[in-house]
Structure 1
Amino acid sequence: MGKVKLTDTILRDAHQSLMATRMSTAEMLPIVEKLDKVGFEALEVWGGATFDASIRFLKEDPWERLREIKKRAKNTKLQMLLRGQNLLGYRHYADDIVDKFVQKSVENGIDVIRIFDALNDVRNIRQACESTKKYGAHAQLAICYTISPVHTIEYYKNLAKEMEELRADSIAIKDMSGILLPYRAYELVKELKKTVKVPIEIHTHTTAGLGEMTCIKAIEAGVDIVDTAMSPFSSGTSQPATESLVRTLQGTEFDTGLDLELLKEIAEYFKPIRKKHLECGDLNPQALFTEPNIVEYQLPGGMLSNMLSQLKAQKAENKYEDVLREIPKVRADLGYPPLVTPLSQMVGTQSVFNVLTGSRYKMIPKEIKDYVKGFYGKSPVPISDEMKKIIIGDDEIFNGRPADLIENEYDKIKQEIGDLAKSDEDVLMYAMFPQVAKTYLENRDKPEKIGKEKKIEEQVINVIF
């Protein structure tokens, strides 16, 4: 036991969870030096949806953001979230792209890479983990926490062992929907601590009203690091508040030793930023509501808002409850995948189709077919022959590592983007988001054009499925 370390998510997951990743680099930079003085284990500043949102909505260079943060954070490790073989995009990339992306992330300032796979298929995190180690960064492998008949404590222990065998430097319990119950967290952390030697970190959300209790029980069980968010962007679909946890642990054996006065100053800085985003509609007050039923449906916050947009577009908001009830059924049909990007969007879309057409699996998105064919990895439990027949007929199923089907593609992509790319970083941006990155690269030297396009784009709701 002893002192608990904190990783603060204010510059990444906090604003991603509450306001669709709309905090700009200009809003971040003035406070980085103070955040750096606190003594956090790490600052989560990059990855997840920040890369996409930077170029798509904010018309900013995500690499430049990282470099500027690094200049100001001289003492604290910078952390990012990476979707394994998916990197920060929405498909699997070839190994050479994964390797190059990790190399450039580390060169530009990342110290800790948290790597996860939506299916907890370790084959999909192997390359990213090897590259992270190769370029001298800390490889933190993440267990996507979910609830199903197959996701037992034993299942998670075996997964943690596999991750340690891959040479993970630490392991995160990634509770993306905020559904990890406090006493379950206690048992899980206790068992993982007995099973592996590397440090354990816990990442949860307060969507269901459980986050703070879950963190306390995990701390009592011996967890090494806890993810929190500075109070102005904490709670709801975000993380528990940093200052509140620091105060709670003061004077106990778990005391973080962090300076509350400095944390207060940082919170004051973020309050007007929060107010601004609330007034312009980026921060939806609904994201701050407590929704205990989320434990049943297991939906991450982003999936809920995407699903509502889909139903609204079809003038079918009255079908919301029906879709919520359909999601657990679709998930069971598909072998209980954890509901995290991209699987959460896929399961949500299939559920919407099932309800709106009035006939289950009458319409099936290509992504669901590819998933059943094995192109995303291995489902936690085998999908029944009956379901396979309904979804893909007699099509063949691939049982290998999905990325083995993709030939090295970096040079081809570099050639494709040509002179628009001035660096490897530009090429990687284009590799992940071809249309959006191309538009950004074409216009980056024309500030007036970027400003105009930004206004137009801000009026459009982009829902990615």
Structure 2
Amino acid sequence: RNIISSVHSGKKNGLLINAMLTYALSPVHDDAYFVERAKELVDLEVDFISVKDPTGLLTPERAKTLFPALVHAAQGIPLKLHSHCQSGLAPLVYEEAIKAGFDYGYVATDCLANGASLPSVVEILELAQRHGRDPAMNIHALQAVDEYFDWVCTRDGLPRGVKQTVDPALYEHQIPGGMISNLRAQLITLGIPHREKEILEETAQVRKDLGYPILVSPFAQYIVTQAVLNVMQGERYKTIPDEVKLYLKGHYGRLAGTPSPEVMARANVDYDPSERPGNRIAPAIPALKKRWGKGCSPEQLCLHAFYPPNLALGLKDGATEALRQGAELHPFRELFTYLRRQTNFSRVRTRFGNVELTISQ
């Protein structure tokens, strides 16, 4: 019910609707659960159905049963897979999706793939071709994209993606990689980085007590915050944030599982999902136009809706295009600027065709 108005509005304005099914592990998230959700999306007449696995929890074994069932339930609607590499199993899961009949997969350019990111586009293309699929991809364009980001990694000292090994603890706490990074930073600020393992273990219990919410924003943050409070205070649910209480009341929609009686009693709330949650939200566009001006483009309004002002204002129309063209149109200048910043050499000689550049420190 949360997405009905968005789907109808998108259809009315000529958009293609890509609906997400977020994968989760729990006693209630069996194949039948996801099939029922897929059937609901079919009834909404969405254009695509995506299986989103933000923590990389899918395994090839689970994919062998789930993916064919979803393809059948989708009744011809194209399926997409979006699975992260946190467990190291994503490429194998993508292979099962290809075999089951999925039409699309989310991937990353080679140097930015793996780790907590998505699988490498090169690896998935090879898998698709091995199974008789012929993706209409421009290999030369992909190579150009990879070379650009590889250069950015070198220029700015950024890490490249590295393949992960399977971590059994991941299947207990189920927290996405980006969320764990934020948690570690917060624990350092609080002076308790040594309690990370204890808090991650507590997240598994909190998630069970809350009825197994999916671990995406904002629910992942709610679960981790509650786990930190439980550990810090030495007592479960002594303090329950208002957002968690709203979740337990059904404010964010129908719960997948039943919360524990203890947490419901501590929160002192009743579960009532009778009203569509979206009805409780005031229209956003009028407020955005009032704050940022009626002359703001639709793209800028969207940026202001999803990002804080410092980021939204820095992403003005055409800004990213200018950054991209800086490297493509002026590679010599890019390299020269990079070399000038280096301090680990005394002399460098570079040749571009008939142009030779010598830099001495």
TM-score normalised according to structure 1 size: 0.62
Does the C-alpha gap of structure 1 residues 276 and 353 become closer, same or farther in structure 2, counting only changes over 3 Å?
A: farther
Residue in structure 2 matched with residue 401 of structure 1 by the alignment: 276
2:70 is aligned with 1:192: yes
SS in 2 for 1:203: strand
Shift of 1:230: 1.1
Shift of 1:146: 0.3
How many residue pairs get matched?
A: 315
Q: Is the 8 A contact 1:307 1:349 kept in 2?
A: no
Q: Is the 8 A contact 2:85 2:164 kept in 1?
A: no
Deviations 1:295-341 (A, max 9, x none): 23211111111111221111111101101111111001101001011
2:78 is aligned with 1:203: no
SS in 1 for 2:71: helix
Runs of 4+ residues deviating >6 angstroms = none
2:92 is aligned with 1:220: no
Q: Is the 8 A contact 1:207 1:235 kept in 2?
A: yes
Shift of 1:264: 3.0
Shift of 1:207: 0.7
Alignment RMSD, CA only?
2.8
Shift of 1:257: 5.1
Residue in structure 1 matched with residue 17 of structure 2 by the alignment: 139
2:36 is aligned with 1:158: yes
Highest CA radius of gyration, 1 or 2? Answer: 2
* Gap runs ≥5 in structure 2: 317-361
1:152 partner letter: D
Match of 2:198 among 301, 307, 322: 322
Residue in structure 1 matched with residue 309 of structure 2 by the alignment: 437
2:289 partner letter: K
Q: What pairs up with 1:35-434 in 2 under 5 angstroms? A: 123-197=1-75, 198-250=77-129, 252-256=131-135, 258-277=137-156, 279=157, 283=159, 289-293=164-168, 294-391=170-267, 393-394=268-269, 397=272, 399-415=274-290, 417=291, 419=293, 422-432=296-306
Deviations 1:30-72 (A, max 9, x none): xxxxxxxxxxxxxxxxxxxxxxxxxxxxxxxxxxxxxxxxxxx
Q: Is the 8 A contact 2:207 2:223 kept in 1?
A: yes
Q: Residues of 2 paired with 1:251 and 1:290: CA distance?
A: 24
Q: Is the 8 A contact 1:186 1:220 kept in 2?
A: no
Q: Residues of 2 paired with 1:358 and 1:298: CA distance?
A: 23
Does the C-alpha gap of structure 1 residues 250 and 390 become closer, same or farther in structure 2, counting only changes over 3 Å?
A: same
Does the C-alpha gap of structure 1 residues 414 and 366 become closer, same or farther in structure 2, counting only changes over 3 Å?
A: same
SS in 2 for 1:375: coil
Does the C-alpha gap of structure 1 residues 245 and 349 become closer, same or farther in structure 2, counting only changes over 3 Å?
A: same
**184-193 or 262-271, larger mean C-alpha shift:** 262-271
Does the C-alpha gap of structure 1 residues 182 and 429 become closer, same or farther in structure 2, counting only changes over 3 Å?
A: same
TM-score normalised according to structure 2 size: 0.79
Shift of 1:440: 6.2
Q: Residues of 2 paired with 1:257 and 1:427: CA distance?
A: 34
SS in 1 for 2:19: strand
Deviations 1:117-144 (A, max 9, x none): xxxxxx1111221122111121111100
